[in-house]
Amino acid sequence: MTSVAIVGAAETTELGRIPNTSQIQLHADAALNALADAGLKISDIDGVATAGESPTAIAQYLGIVPTWVDGTAVGGCSFMIHVRHAVAAIKNGLAKTVLITHGESGRSGVGRGGFRRGGGDGSLQGQFEAPYGPIGPPTLFTLPVLRYMKDFGMSHEQLAMVAVVQREWAAMNPRASFREPITVEDVLASRMIAYPFHLLECCLVTDGGGALILVSGDRAADFPTKPVYVIGCGESVETPMVSQMDDLTTSRAFRVAGAAAMREAGINHDDVDHMMVYDAFAHLPIYGLEDLGFVKRGEAASFIWDGNTRPGGKLPLNTNGGGLSYMHSGMYGMYALQESVRQLRGSAPAQVKGAEISLCLGVGGMFGASGCVVMSNVGP
């Protein structure tokens, strides 16, 4: 066996505000949609990976008897890492048909388990970050960017442009939460959330889910969907405390995971037709483009400003509209993967013509972790 393919991929039937559905049912709704997409029955699934809920809960709720489980939960990139682990499991015969699920009642909070927030406690975050007043990601994930702006001369307008370009993609996507065109001026005039971040530079908070089904590439022809082959993956973690990043202007986890994925895929930057970088906040694509070497350090803001990532640009990026405009349930990584699969199936609302290779980079925590998956619709 030489390859593993994604043969089932689907999001929840609805996205956005889903107050009538619990979090675990969002997992299930996505899983049932992915099973239908692949033409499989639940009894065909023998491997389960998930984050947010335990794989135990998901297996029991769906009625799966797994021979392999993965509960890696390192934040929003957990699903990229699940893909990598699933590839290894399938190649080693630990499972034949792996289901990866995500569901999150991020907006409505229906049936949501206890996500740990940094309270004043005995953890290192509790002792050395929580007392200084961080309230969730808008006050933590954002902390490094002023350092980046000073060191590399990035302007507030350039940061705002990330949101403007992604809205251009979202405008073509009927399922995107926000589709109205915006300008740099609109972004800078939106409410300040945590200086220097305005509302439109912060991700949405929505409900939703998604699921993937992976099998050996040898079986890919047995399924009704166009197979999307996983050709390279990487993963890493850096720190649960943003204050302790090695360097505030670059993500070590991005660099490690991205380089591993590209090396395994055997690709160069020019080979990438389509790219997703998990954008919880507007600076994430800037870090991602630089840390994976698509541009030199300090050049990503100009690269985006000059139109390279917008519709018609040479590196289409975050083509669903991203966490800034499409949706963001809390752990957005699954939606980035779904968009890569759609692009390689040729079924994306804002389809990149002829895309053969997609690179999908996820982040977990506040620059705490990363998973990267390179996919291709060309068989090995």
Partner 1 sequence: MPKGTRPVPQPTPETQHFWDGTREGELRLQRCDACAHVYFPPRPFCPKCSSREVSVFRASGKGKLASYIINERGHPAWDGPYSIALVELDEGVRMMSNIIDCPQTPEALVLDMPLEVTFERLTDDITLPLFRPLAAGGAQ
Q: Kindly report the number of other CB atoms within 10 A of residue 147's CB atom.
A: 13
Q: Scanning residues 245 to 284, which ones bind partner 1 (CB under 8 A)?
A: 248
Q: How far is CA 171 from CA 122, 191, 316, in A?
A: 46, 22, 14
- Extract the tokens encoding 177: 């939460």
**Which segment (7-15, 108-116, 129-137, 343-351) binds partner 1 by CB under 8 A?**
129-137
Least separation in angstroms between residue 361's CB and partner 1 is: 23
Question: For residues 81 and 70, what is the distance between their CA atoms, to the nearest angstrom?
Answer: 10
Between the CA of residue 190 and those of 87, 182, 184, 206, what are the distances in Å? 43, 11, 10, 19
**Amino acid (1-letter code) at residue 156:** H
User: Is residue 128 involved in binding partner 1 (CB under 8 A)?
Assistant: yes
Bridge-partner residues for 230, per DSSP?
Answer: 4, 375
Of 41, 116, 122, 353, the one binding partner 1 by CB under 8 A: 122
Min dist. Cβ of residue 151 to partner 1 (A): 9
Question: Which residue in the set 16, 138, 293, 298 belongs to the binding site for partner 1 (CB under 8 A)?
Answer: 138
Question: Can the peptide bond before residue 196 be classed as cis, meaning omega within 30 degrees of 0?
Answer: yes
Closest CA relative to residue 124, chosen from 253, 247, 248, 241: 241
Q: How far is the CB of 185 from partner 1 (least distance, A)?
A: 19
Which of 110, 128, 109, 108 minimizes the C-alpha distance to 118?
128
Sign of the alpha-carbon torsion through 201, 206, 208, 209: positive
The least distance separating partner 1 from the CB of residue 126, rounded to whole angstroms, comes to 6
The structure tokens listed for 261 are 């994925």
Least Cβ distance, residue 229 to partner 1 (angstroms): 39
C-alpha closest to that of 369 among 203, 243, 240: 240
121 lies in the binding site for partner 1 (CB under 8 A): yes
**Candidate list 241, 253, 265, 375; residue touching partner 1; CB under 8 A:** 241
Q: How far is the CB of 241 from partner 1 (least distance, A)?
A: 8
Q: How far is the CB of 137 from partner 1 (least distance, A)?
A: 11
Q: Does 145 bind partner 1 (CB under 8 A)?
A: yes
Mark 198-237 with x for binding to partner 1 (rule: CB under 8 A) and - for no binding. Answer: ----------------------------------------
Binding partner 1 by CB under 8 A: which of 1, 135, 189, 221? 135
150 binds partner 1 (CB under 8 A): yes
Q: Are 5 and 82 in contact (CB under 8 A)?
A: no
Among 124, 172, 188, 267, binds partner 1 (CB under 8 A): 124
Grouping H, G, I as helix, E, B as strand and the rest as coil, residue 119 is coil
Distance CA 129, CA 119 (A): 9
The contact mask relative to partner 1 for 18-57 (x = CB under 8 A, - = no) is ----------------------------------------
Asked if 153 touches partner 1 (CB under 8 A), the answer is no
Contact (CB, 8 A) for 283 and 328: no
Chain residues binding partner 1 by CB under 8 A are 118-122, 124, 126-135, 138-140, 142-147, 150, 191-197, 241, 243-244, 248
